[in-house]
Amino acid sequence: MSPAKMQVPRISDAVAASLERRILEASLKPGDRLPPERELAAEMGVSRPSLREAIQKLASKGMVQSRQGGGTFITDRLASSFFDPWRDMLGAHPNLREDMLEFRRMLEGQAAEWAAERATGDDLARIDQAFTELTAAFGVDDLDNRSRCDIAFHQAIGEAAHNALLGHLSSALLRLMHDNIRLNLGELNGVPAAGNLLKNQHTAIHAAIHERKPAAARAAAETHIDFVRETLAQSLRTAARRETAARRLSSDFSNNPSSSS
């Protein structure tokens, strides 16, 4: 009986696995363009045909997409299968926002805890940069920019947790909630002192991660989401009461026109 032949991995398979790992760890993000073929082949120490074959393997999985005359880009395949159906559901069922905030509390509490334990120096530098930009955004009346900075800060923490599933799920959830985060910030703008409280909450999360205090980081992240949930609930209840009062007043005028004379 002949001995079993040893399976020798193809170079293109090893290259594809290496690129996949970069995508999983978010070194390569959706929308990023791969370096030119010559540069990437030299960086990875492989021939251009092997690299080309590896990229074709990733393209067949939907992980990358080549654009005519424009290079090869990372797709959002890992997030889109989660993002797309829930975006439609959230639009059709606004009450899901509370469920999203509840889930976000669990996810971001764990992310902050792990980031405090696992963040590298480079991770902390990215969190610092995102925090600086977010702090500056609190001083400007631009909800779109503040929403973007808010998402970038929390995403930097999610990636610093060094858990591939949590990082990608956090990214998908934050993308899904982008419009709702902007809406939340807009509603909170009408709440006295909310801006300063939000700023202080983000400062507490940032400090706990820097000081390597996992329990404090989790508590700070959960406190932040709890504040957003409760403040929004109060704001929505107030808005509902105003709408009810306005409808009653309109009805009174309709039923008794002479009262307006």
* pTM over cut 0.75: no
Residue 260 pLDDT exceeds 60: no
Q: Identify the band that residue 122 occupies on the pLDDT scale cut at 50, 70 and 90.
A: very high
Q: What is the mean pLDDT of the chain?
A: 83
Indicate if the alpha-carbon torsion angle 214, 220, 225, 230 is positive or negative.
positive
* Mean pLDDT to the nearest integer, 100-120: 93
* Mean pLDDT to the nearest integer, 168-189: 70
Indicate if the alpha-carbon torsion angle 51, 53, 54, 58 is positive or negative.
positive
Residue 46 pLDDT exceeds 90: yes
Domains in the chain with CATH codes: 11-75 (1.10.10.10), 78-248 (1.20.120.530)
Residue 186 pLDDT exceeds 80: no
Instruction: State residue 7's pLDDT score.
Output: 59
- 205 versus 255: which is more confidently predicted? 205
- 123 versus 192: which is more confidently predicted? 123
* Mean pLDDT to the nearest integer, 187-210: 84
Residue 32 pLDDT exceeds 80: yes
**Do residues 127 and 153 touch, judged by C-beta distance below 8 A?**
yes
Residue 208 pLDDT exceeds 50: yes
Instruction: State residue 254's pLDDT score.
Output: 63
pLDDT for 127-146, tens place per residue?
A: 999 999 999 998 887 878 88
Residue 49 pLDDT exceeds 50: yes
| Three-state secondary structure string covering the chain | CCCCCCCCCCHHHHHHHHHHHHHHCCCCCCCCECCCHHHHHHHHCCCHHHHHHHHHHHHHCCCEEEECCCEEEECCHHHHHHHHHHHHHHHHCCCHHHHHHHHHHHHHHHHHHHHHHHCCHHHHHHHHHHHHHHHHHCCCCCHHHHHHHHHHHHHHHHHHCCCHHHHHHHHHHHHHCHHHHHHHHHHHCCCCCHHHHHHHHHHHHHHHHHCCCHHHHHHHHHHHHHHHHHHHHHHHHHHHHHHHHHHHHHHHHHHCHHHHC
Instruction: State residue 9's pLDDT score.
Output: 67
To 10 degrees, what angle do helices 178-188 and 194-210 make?
130
Instruction: State residue 261's pLDDT score.
Output: 44
Q: Identify the band that residue 184 occupies on the pLDDT scale cut at 50, 70 and 90.
A: low
* Mean pLDDT to the nearest integer, 14-41: 88
Instruction: State residue 35's pLDDT score.
Output: 92
Instruction: State residue 256's pLDDT score.
Output: 66
pLDDT for 142-172, tens place per residue?
A: 878 888 899 899 999 999 999 988 988 888 8
